[in-house]
């Protein structure tokens, strides 16, 4: 099916970007808003976004005029009578969407495809409200639509054959990568991303580590574009809270129940960037006082480089050191209790080449903890102070996400390559979850998940059977067709 004329309903954050994407690809666009005031705002979004592209030299002024010239703006839905496709981007409220789709069903030709940009609502429920359920799909763009290269194309059990492939081909024409999936809450990206963000909030509530430290660990340790709390502020805590609620309603997985902290912040009106304050926006954190640095000791495998750097910086190793840096990827309390003075031991878990997670046990003294912080800084690493818990921060957040990706694939919902592409393009991650799993080592992740399960007794932390079996079979890569 050829799509030449498209309608976009709702020209807010997403709709204006989507209209721009279509017009850039040479399609004619009819943009519909609720009233004249909203229409003027929509026009403003389009003008500013294309204006910025001209300022940055990405678009010639003449091209901008052509793009804007292909977009007709209106407040009348009836103008959508002759389009081949409508993409809806009005607020995420099912009743609004159903009313709109009923109306579009009346207005548009029977062959017109009706698509929703909904992030979390049931496409099936929207399709079923129309007289053409076979022609209704999800076309889920990412924010900002002109920049992000991913589109999730969502088919339902009643979508007519060929429609998903046609919309995926259209996404390709727009310069996007399409991932075709079924109608499950959160699709691929939000289903994998939001539980990780929610768990980060949970970890902070448990006091395992603080906001800035968790953000630093995931950004610098894993190479993500930003930490979970910065991203939550960007997404909007209200949106995140609602999507979590939708995931929970479908899965009844308690990890999908929105973290109580999210609820509290949302109720207080602290929604993130859009309201000026969310996880961030309060007074900046005070730098901890400098410690009195004395002698150090390094124990455990893999600490030679760290000891070397500290010696090079002029620090002295001692048989009876002020602080013992115990390299470990598991809680260190069992090692601490064997020391004459357990208060001096701090667990050190190196993540990548920039981050050192510093685990304080229940016995670690304040002095030892702050000396460890200063020492690893001197060694050129970013310290991430945390509690002495399985997985510390990074593995506790990363491994369950990787496990979820394995389960998602194993359930037949999406292929390995699609899941990897979705997370790279939809979230700007440096690698997809299967690529991360393979570079970390499947056995390491499986064993880490077992340790997390043993610590937190969370059923979803148990290694996915596929992961476990691959490790048992001695396989280091996921089989791809
Ligand atoms: N914001 C994101 O990051 C993001 C990402 C992907 C998908 N989405 C989805 O996109 C949709 C829109 O989200 P948004 O963030 O752009 O919302 P938004 O509030 O910025 O924009 C919604 C727009 O719809 C208009 N509108 C409301 N009722 C209308 C009607 N009956 N007819 C025409 N226009 C109407 C509003 O005036 C507003 O301009 C939602 O379904 C959301 O889940 C959002």
Q: Whose CA is nearest to atom 32 of ligand 1?
A: 34
pLDDT at 464 over 80: yes
339-354 mean pLDDT: 96
Helix, strand or coil, per DSSP, at residue 141:
strand
pLDDT at 283 over 80: no
Which of residues 154, 183, 212 is at a domain's end? 183
pLDDT at 289 over 80: no
Ligand 1 pocket, residue 190 CB under 6 Å: no
Pair 151, 139: CB distance under 8 Å: yes
Whole-number average pLDDT of the chain: 96
| Domain hosting residue 120, numbered range | 5-183
Q: Whose CA is nearest to atom 25 of ligand 1?
A: 10
What per-residue confidence (pLDDT) applies to 309? Answer: 92
pLDDT at 481 over 90: no
Q: What is the pTM of this model?
A: 0.94
The CATH number that applies at residue 342 is 3.40.50.720
Q: Residue 116 CA: which ligand 1 atom is closest? A: 41
Structural domain includes residue 452: no
> Does one domain contain both 325 and 179?
no
446-464 mean pLDDT: 97
Structural domain includes residue 225: no
What per-residue confidence (pLDDT) applies to 293? Answer: 78
Closest Cα partner for 21 from 74, 87, 119? Answer: 87
Q: Report phi then psi at 114, rounded to 5.
A: -110, 125
Structural domain includes residue 344: yes
311-326 mean pLDDT: 93
Q: Find the helix or strand (DSSP H, E) in which 179 lies.
A: strand 177-181
Categorize the per-residue pLDDT at 134 as very low, low, confident or very high, splitting at 50, 70 and 90.
very high
> Does one domain contain both 164 and 301?
no
Which of residues 183, 204, 239 is at a domain's end? 183
Pair 321, 297: CB distance under 8 Å: yes
Cα 447 to Cα 462: distance, rounded to the nearest angstrom: 10
Question: Active site includes 45?
Answer: no
As for how many domains the chain has, the answer is 2
pLDDT at 237 over 80: yes
Cα 253 to Cα 394: distance, rounded to the nearest angstrom: 22
- Number of alpha carbons in the 13 Å side-chain half-sphere of residue 383: 24
Categorize the per-residue pLDDT at 271 as very low, low, confident or very high, splitting at 50, 70 and 90.
very high
Categorize the per-residue pLDDT at 286 as very low, low, confident or very high, splitting at 50, 70 and 90.
confident
Q: Residue 143 CA: which ligand 1 atom is closest? A: 3
Structural domain includes residue 39: yes
Structural domain includes residue 57: yes
Helix and strand counts by DSSP (H, E) for the chain:
20, 13
Question: Active site includes 152?
Answer: yes
Q: What percentage of the chain exceeds 70 in pLDDT?
A: 100
Q: Residue 119 CA: which ligand 1 atom is closest? A: 43
Ligand 1 pocket, residue 10 CB under 6 Å: yes
What per-residue confidence (pLDDT) applies to 290? Answer: 79
Pair 130, 102: CB distance under 8 Å: yes
What per-residue confidence (pLDDT) applies to 177? Answer: 98
Structural domain includes residue 137: yes
Which tokens sit at 124? 């099936």
Which of residues 159, 183, 207 is at a domain's end? 183
> Does one domain contain both 18 and 166?
yes
Q: Compute the distance from residue 141 Cα to the ligand 1 centre, in Å.
A: 12
Cα 323 to Cα 335: distance, rounded to the nearest angstrom: 14
97-111 mean pLDDT: 98
Question: Active site includes 140?
Answer: yes
Pair 93, 46: CB distance under 8 Å: no
Cα 284 to Cα 376: distance, rounded to the nearest angstrom: 22
Structural domain includes residue 265: no
Query: Residue 474: CB partners within 8 Å, gap ≥ 6?
Result: none
Question: Active site includes 403?
Answer: no
Structural domain includes residue 189: no
215-241 mean pLDDT: 96
- Nearest 10 degrees: Cα torsion 62, 64, 67, 73: -120
How do residues 11-69 score in pLDDT, each as one tens digit? 999 999 999 999 999 999 999 999 999 999 999 999 999 999 999 999 999 999 999 99
What per-residue confidence (pLDDT) applies to 282? Answer: 79
The verdict on whether omega for the bond into residue 223 sits within 30 degrees of 0, i.e. cis, is: no
What per-residue confidence (pLDDT) applies to 256? Answer: 96
What does the DSSP assignment read for 315-326? PPB-SS-SEEEE
What per-residue confidence (pLDDT) applies to 288? Answer: 75
Cα 259 to Cα 205: distance, rounded to the nearest angstrom: 9
Q: Whose CA is nearest to atom 39 of ligand 1?
A: 12
111-117 mean pLDDT: 98
Helix, strand or coil, per DSSP, at residue 346:
strand
435-462 mean pLDDT: 97
From the candidates 120, 152, 370, 403, which is the catalytic residue? 152
């Amino acid at each position: 099916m050829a799509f030449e004329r498209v309608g976009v309903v709702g020209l807010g954050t997403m709709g204006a970007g989507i209209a721009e994407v279509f017009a850039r690809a040479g399609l004619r666009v009819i943009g519909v808003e609720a009233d004249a005031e909203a229409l003027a705002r929509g026009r403003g979004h389009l003008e500013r976004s294309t204006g910025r592209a001209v300022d940055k030299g990405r678009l010639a002024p003449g091209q901008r005029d052509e793009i804007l010239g292909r977009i007709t703006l209106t407040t009348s839905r009836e103008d959508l009578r002759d389009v081949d496709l409508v993409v809806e981007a009005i607020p995420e409220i099912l009743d609004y969407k159903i009313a709109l789709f009923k109306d579009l069903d009346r207005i548009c030709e029977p062959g017109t495809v009706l698509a929703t940009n909904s992030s979390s609502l049931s496409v099936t429920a929207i399709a079923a409200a129309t007289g053409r359920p076979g022609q209704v799909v999800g076309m889920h763009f990412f924010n900002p639509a002109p920049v992000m290269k991913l589109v999730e194309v969502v088919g339902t059990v009643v979508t007519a054959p060929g429609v998903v492939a046609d919309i995926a081909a259209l996404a390709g024409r727009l310069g996007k990568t399409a991932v075709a999936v079924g109608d499950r809450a959160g699709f691929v990206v939000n289903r994998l991303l939001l539980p990780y963000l929610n768990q980060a909030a949970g970890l902070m509530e448990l006091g395992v580590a603080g906001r800035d430290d968790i953000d630093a660990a995931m950004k610098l340790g894993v190479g993500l574009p930003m930490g979970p709390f910065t991203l939550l502020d960007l997404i909007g805590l209200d949106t995140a809270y609602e999507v979590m609620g939708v995931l929970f309603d479908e899965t009844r997985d308690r990890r999908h129940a929105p973290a109580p902290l999210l609820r509290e912040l949302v109720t207080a009106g602290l929604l993130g960037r859009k309201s000026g304050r969310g996880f961030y926006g309060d007074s900046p954190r005070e730098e901890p006082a400098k410690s009195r640095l004395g002698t150090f000791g390094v124990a455990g495998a893999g600490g030679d480089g760290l000891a070397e750097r500290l010696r090079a910086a002029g620090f002295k190793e001692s048989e009876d050191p002020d602080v013992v840096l115990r390299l470990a990827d598991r809680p260190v309390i069992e090692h601490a209790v064997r020391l004459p003075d357990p208060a001096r031991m701090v667990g050190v878990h190196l993540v990548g080449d920039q981050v050192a997670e510093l685990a304080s046990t229940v016995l670690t003294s304040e002095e030892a903890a702050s000396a460890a912080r200063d020492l690893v800084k001197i060694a050129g690493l970013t310290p991430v102070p945390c509690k002495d818990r399985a997985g510390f921060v990074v593995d506790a957040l990363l491994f369950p996400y990787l496990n979820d990706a394995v389960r998602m694939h194993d359930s037949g919902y999406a292929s390995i390559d699609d899941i990897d592409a979705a997370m790279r393009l939809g979230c700007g991650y440096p690698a997809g979850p299967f690529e991360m799993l393979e570079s970390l080592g499947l056995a390491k992740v499986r064993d880490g998940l077992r340790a997390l399960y043993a610590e937190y007794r969370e059923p979803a932390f148990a290694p996915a059977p596929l992961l476990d079996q691959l490790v048992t079979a001695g396989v280091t890569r996921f089989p791809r067709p």
